Amino acid sequence: MAGDTASHPGVVSHPATIEQLSFVGSWRWRILPDSVSNAFQDILRAVTDETDLASVNEATAGLIECLQLCGQPSLPDLCVERLLSDDSHPFVVALSRDEHPAPQTRQLFRYDLRRLQLLAQSPWIEWVTKAGVDWLSASVADIERQAPDSNHAPWHPHAARDRLSQSLATADDWGDLVEDLETFWRRFGCGQRQGIVAYRLEEHAGKARLRAIEKFDAFPMDWLQFESSRIGVIEDNTRSLLTNDEASNALIWGPRGCGKSTLIRALVGRYWDQGLRAIEIPSASYGQLPALFDLVRHRPESFIAVLDNIALEPQDPAHRTLASLLDGGLEQSPANLVFYATSNYKDLVDRHGERPGGPPAQQADAAVAARLGGATEPTLDAYDPQGLQRLDERRALDDRFALKIFIDLPTQSQYEKILHAYAQRAGLTESSQDLVADFRIWRMRHNHDLVGGRTVRDYVRYRVAERDRDDAVRQEAKGP
């Protein structure tokens, strides 16, 4: 190996390619991290100028370090990963807003794809090797890549990304893949939205934002054991939301553990590929609700804003905020947003058993005088002349939910079907009779007075953990 102080002749075997790559420093599409872009420019300068070998070695090491810090084994891998995750190109921005890119924007994207292909497939390792770098021998083909993990939820884009990566690796012209990329982004989302089907509304740095829920707790719709007509009402309403027809806010109410929240999760799992997304609204984020409209209005997805387990005290001002936001404010709600609330109560604001009543105003004084005169009949200590109006205001929130869907606890035959289905999927092989008998004992022992899907799920989880512990003990007893 020549000393680091030696000089080298400029690489002239690929002058056209090197000249074509001069755009990297001034490219308006910030597809690559600045560190990688700068390191690649250092490579170009080092191999085209009469510089010493030390500079070439330093530039080579710099690019390799940047690729490693980006978590990618090679420049082609980085270019493909950044392309599929992009949300900055005007073409991708239009898709993220559910717009049809203009013809000129589509042509620009095709042109930029071809430039990115030039960059990804540039023989920079060959250049630096000819310039005297003799410690770098691995080519892209030598890199061992892990097999893709197929154990993902269907809304995760991993399999689709792998297929597109293969297409990009074998395509003669990346510009021919514009339509394939558009289909991918429309199905799975752009940038950080990829693989996300649920969000949580929260405050961050004084502003409302939608924080992605990375691990969505999905539930198969086929596992639900509800009356089909009740599921049909909420499912038809959800389909109306997805087709931009008139969709209504809905209140799903019923006893605890009957599957109200699970129904919403199942809807998202069934219709995610049609663009359905959920937004969890914690009670602490009710103050951020006025900003929700702006966060979703220009997005291509359809959103269910989930008010889970909602129940308000009469003195809680949140019922006014919610009522005004759901219907009655000056701003029109987005067509791609509905609110689904779940509650154990049909009346969302607790009225403490209040009833409009009491003597009319002209009789109030007479009632007090009668009490002072020794009357034994119960009399009203204080009369609220606006009692009817106050109760009416508290009921206003209920009226904002056009659909009120009651879900009851499953019957014995229904929860036994749920039990058998869960046990079968978990690999519990005992007979149906023994399983039901053991479940009843477990339920009484752990004081589960109501039997719903949640109770059955917890029982099956307990049994699976118990089985795994027993298997581990038996394996340990056998020894190595």
Output the CA–CA distances (angstroms, integers) from residue 297 to 210, 237, 288, 358, in the order listed.
Answer: 13, 19, 15, 47
Whole-number pLDDT of residue 464: 92
Whether pLDDT at 5 is above 50:
no
For residue 279, give the H/E element and its range.
strand 276-280
Whole-number pLDDT of residue 327: 74
Whole-number pLDDT of residue 387: 58
Beta strand 276-280 with 198-204 is parallel
Whether pLDDT at 140 is above 50:
no
**Sequence-ordered alpha helix ranges (H) in 279-411:** 292-296, 318-326, 361-372, 387-399
Which CATH number, 1.10.12.10, 3.40.1260.10, 3.30.70.120, 3.40.50.300, labels domain 198-343? 3.40.50.300
Distance CA 386, CA 367 (A): 18
Provide the residue type at 405 as one letter: I
DSSP string, 401-457: -SEEEE-PPPPHHHHHHHHHHHHHHHT--S-HHHHHHHHHHHHHHTT--S--HHHHH
* pLDDT, tens digit, 9 for 90 and up, residues 178-218: 999 999 999 999 999 999 999 999 999 889 999 999 999 98
Q: 153 or 388, which is more confident?
A: 153
Whole-number pLDDT of residue 10: 43
Whether pLDDT at 14 is above 80:
no
- The stretch 31-37 carries a mean pLDDT of 95
Whether pLDDT at 70 is above 60:
yes
- The stretch 220-240 carries a mean pLDDT of 85
Whole-number pLDDT of residue 409: 82
**C-alpha torsion angle, residues 232, 272, 92, 156 (rounded to 10):** 180
Distance CA 244, CA 322 (A): 23
Most confident of the following: 109-118, 343-352, 417-426, 446-455: 109-118
- The stretch 391-404 carries a mean pLDDT of 76
| Count of alpha carbons within 13 angstroms of residue 372, beta-carbon side | 6
Whole-number pLDDT of residue 2: 40
Whole-number pLDDT of residue 104: 98
* pLDDT, tens digit, 9 for 90 and up, residues 294-341: 999 989 999 999 999 887 666 666 767 787 777 767 788 899 999 999
Q: 1 or 413, which is more confident?
A: 413
Contact 384, 356 (CB under 8 A): no
11 pLDDT band, cuts 50/70/90, is: very low
* pLDDT, tens digit, 9 for 90 and up, residues 433-473: 999 999 999 999 999 887 888 888 899 999 999 998 988 88
Q: Among 266-275, 377-386, 409-418, where is mean pLDDT lowest?
A: 377-386
**Sign of the CA dihedral with 64 first, then 67, 72, and 77 last:** negative
- The stretch 26-31 carries a mean pLDDT of 95
366 pLDDT band, cuts 50/70/90, is: low
Whether pLDDT at 15 is above 60:
no
Q: 246 or 150, which is more confident?
A: 246
Whether pLDDT at 9 is above 70:
no
- The stretch 120-132 carries a mean pLDDT of 90
Q: Among 56-65, 98-107, 356-365, where is mean pLDDT lowest?
A: 356-365
Q: Which residues on neighbouring strands pair with residue 304, listed in sequence order?
A: 278, 338
Mean pLDDT for the chain? 84
Distance CA 172, CA 175 (A): 9
Distance CA 443, CA 451 (A): 8
Contact 384, 358 (CB under 8 A): yes
Q: What are phi and psi of 65, to 5 degrees?
A: -65, -40
Whole-number pLDDT of residue 417: 86
The pair of structure tokens assigned to 465 is 């953990």
220 pLDDT band, cuts 50/70/90, is: confident
Contact 400, 323 (CB under 8 A): yes
Q: What is the pTM of this model?
A: 0.79
Whole-number pLDDT of residue 374: 56
Whether pLDDT at 6 is above 60:
no
Whether pLDDT at 8 is above 50:
no
Whether pLDDT at 382 is above 90:
no
Beta strand 198-204 with 207-212 is antiparallel
Q: Which residues on neighbouring strands pair with residue 340, listed in sequence order?
A: 250, 306
Whole-number pLDDT of residue 386: 58
